C-alpha cells in the first residue's frame, strides 16, 4: 500500500478571460437554460442494450451532466478549501466498466444569441457544447474522442492503443433527460466512493490547540514475519513544544498548515529513541510533512525529506515513508538517498495515551 501526493489542477485562465473573467464567476450559476431556478441541475441517460447493439461504435453506456457545485470532491485536508472553480461536470461510463470517468470545466456562452453553451477545460480544451431543446432535454455535442487522454495521445499511443483507450466514433450528440440532482450526486459518488470507516479528515479530528499521540509497538512475531522492517516502535505526536510553536507562529484558520509534529522511533539496530521534527501542510486528502533540523544534528539540507499522514479506518492514522524520510537512518546518509526499499514504507498507527509520546 502506498500513499500518493495529489497535485491540484491549474486554472484555465484563457477560457476564464473569454467568459468575462470575474463577471463569469459571479454569474456562474445563472445559465437559465440549464438551471431555471438558479440551483444545481442534473441531466442523464442510461442506454439500453437495444440502443447499444444498434450503435456498435458507441462506447458510452451511461452519461450524466451536472451543472452547479462540485459533486466530486470529498472533505479534504486543505485548510481553506473554497468552492470549485468548475461549474460543469460530466461523467461517462463505457460498456463493461465498473465506474465512471469524469471531467470538470467552466460553462458559459460565447454568443448569447446562439443558445449554445460552451464548456471548456484546462489548456483551452473543449469539454462539450450544450444546448437545451424545447422539451428540456440536454444535447451534448463536440465531445472529443480524447476527452480523458492527454493532448497528443493519438501520436504517442499509436492507432490501435488510441482506439482502445479513446471514446468511440459515435460518442457524441448525446441527448440527456433532466433528472433530480441527487441522481447526479449518486452517479458521481461511484467515481471514488467514500469509506464511512475513515471518519472526518485529520484537520477536523486533530485540533490546533490539542496534543495527540499515535503509535505502534511491533512484537517479535510481527518482526519475524517482516525481516526487512527496521522499525521496532514508532510514535507520531504533538506535545507541549509543538503546541507552543503553533500558538506562537501558526494560524488556526489555516490549520494544519505550519503545524509541527514529532516522530520518534526505535529500531532493531538501535534501542535508543530517535526523534525528528516535521512541518506539515494540508494537501488534498493527506498531510505533507517536511523534515526540519530543529531536533537533529544533520549537516545536510533535509528539506526534501517528506512523510505523509492520512486518516485510517476506525480512528487510526496512516503514515507513509516513500523516500527514506524517517529517522530509522541518518537522513544525510547514502542509505537515505532514494526510495524506501525496506518494509518501513507504510504504518498503521493507533491512538495512544499522551504519556507514551511526550511529557
Q: What is the pLDDT of residues 167-202, one digit of tens each?
A: 999 999 999 999 999 999 999 999 988 888 999 999
Assign domain 202-356 one CATH number from 2.40.128, 3.30.420, 3.30.1120, 2.60.40: 2.40.128
- Residues near 214 by Cβ (< 8 Å), separated by ≥ 6? 235, 236, 237, 316, 317, 349, 350, 351, 352
Report the half-sphere exposure of 306 (CA within 13 A, side-chain side): 13
d(CA 104, CA 91): 9
Q: Are 139 and 131 in contact (CB under 8 A)?
A: yes
Whole-prediction pTM: 0.68
Question: DSSP strand E in 163-254: where?
Answer: 174-179, 212-217, 231-238
Question: What dihedral angle (degrees, nearest 10) is formed by the CA atoms of 213, 271, 3, 257?
Answer: 40
d(CA 356, CA 237): 10
User: Average pLDDT in the 91-111 region?
Assistant: 93
- Residues near 135 by Cβ (< 8 Å), separated by ≥ 6? none
pLDDT at residue 73, as a whole number:
83
Provide the residue ranges of all domains of the chain, joining segments of one domain with +: 13-194, 202-356
pLDDT digits (tens, 9 = 90+) for 341-351: 899 999 999 99
Amino acid at each position: 500500500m502506498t500513499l500518493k501526493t495529489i497535485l491540484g489542477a491549474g486554472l484555465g485562465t484563457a477560457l476564464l478571460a473569454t467568459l468575462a473573467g470575474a463577471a463569469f464567476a459571479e454569474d456562474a450559476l445563472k445559465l437559465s437554460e440549464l438551471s431555471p431556478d438558479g440551483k444545481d441541475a442534473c441531466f442523464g441517460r442510461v442506454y439500453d442494450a437495444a440502443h447499444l447493439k444498434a450503435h456498435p461504435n458507441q462506447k458510452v453506456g451511461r452519461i450524466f451532466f451536472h451543472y452547479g457545485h462540485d459533486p466530486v470532491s470529498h472533505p479534504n485536508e486543505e485548510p481553506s478549501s473554497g468552492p470549485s472553480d468548475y461549474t460543469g461536470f460530466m461523467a461517462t461510463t463505457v460498456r463493461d466498466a465498473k465506474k465512471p470517468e469524469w471531467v470538470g470545466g467552466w460553462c458559459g456562452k460565447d454568443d448569447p444569441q446562439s443558445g449554445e453553451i460552451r464548456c471548456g477545460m484546462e489548456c483551452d480544451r473543449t469539454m462539450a457544447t450544450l444546448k437545451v431543446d424545447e422539451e428540456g432535454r440536454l444535447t451534448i455535442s463536440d465531445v472529443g474522442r480524447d476527452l480523458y487522454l492527454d493532448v497528443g495521445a493519438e501520436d504517442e499511443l499509436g492507432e490501435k492503443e488510441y482506439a482502445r483507450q479513446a471514446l468511440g466514433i459515435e460518442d457524441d450528440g448525446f441527448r440527456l433527460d433532466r433528472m433530480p440532482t441527487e441522481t447526479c450526486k449518486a452517479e458521481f459518488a461511484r467515481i471514488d466512493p467514500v469509506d464511512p470507516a475513515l471518519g472526518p479528515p485529520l484537520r477536523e479530528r486533530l485540533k490546533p490547540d490539542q496534543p495527540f499521540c499515535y503509535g505502534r509497538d511491533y512484537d517479535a512475531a510481527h518482526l519475524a514475519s517482516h525481516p526487512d522492517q527496521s522499525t521496532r516502535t514508532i510514535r507520531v505526536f504533538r506535545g507541549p513544544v509543538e503546541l507552543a510553536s503553533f500558538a506562537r507562529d501558526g494560524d488556526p484558520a489555516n490549520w494544519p498548515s505550519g503545524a509541527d509534529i514529532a516522530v520518534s522511533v526505535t529500531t532493531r539496530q538501535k534501542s535508543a529513541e530517535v526523534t525528528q521534527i516535521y512541518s506539515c501542510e494540508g494537501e488534498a486528502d493527506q498531510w505533507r510533512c517536511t523534515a526540519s533540523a530543529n531536533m537533529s544534528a544533520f549537516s545536510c539540507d533535509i528539506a526534501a525529506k517528506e512523510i505523509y499522514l492520512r486518516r485510517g479506518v476506525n480512528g487510526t492514522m496512516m503514515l507513509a515513508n516513500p523516500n527514506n524520510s524517517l529517522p530509522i537512518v541518518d537522513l544525510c546518509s547514502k542509505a537515505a538517498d532514494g526510495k524506501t526499499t525496506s518494509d518501513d514504507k507504510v504504518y498503521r498507527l493507533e491512538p495512544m495515551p499522551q504519556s507514551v509520546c511526550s511529557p
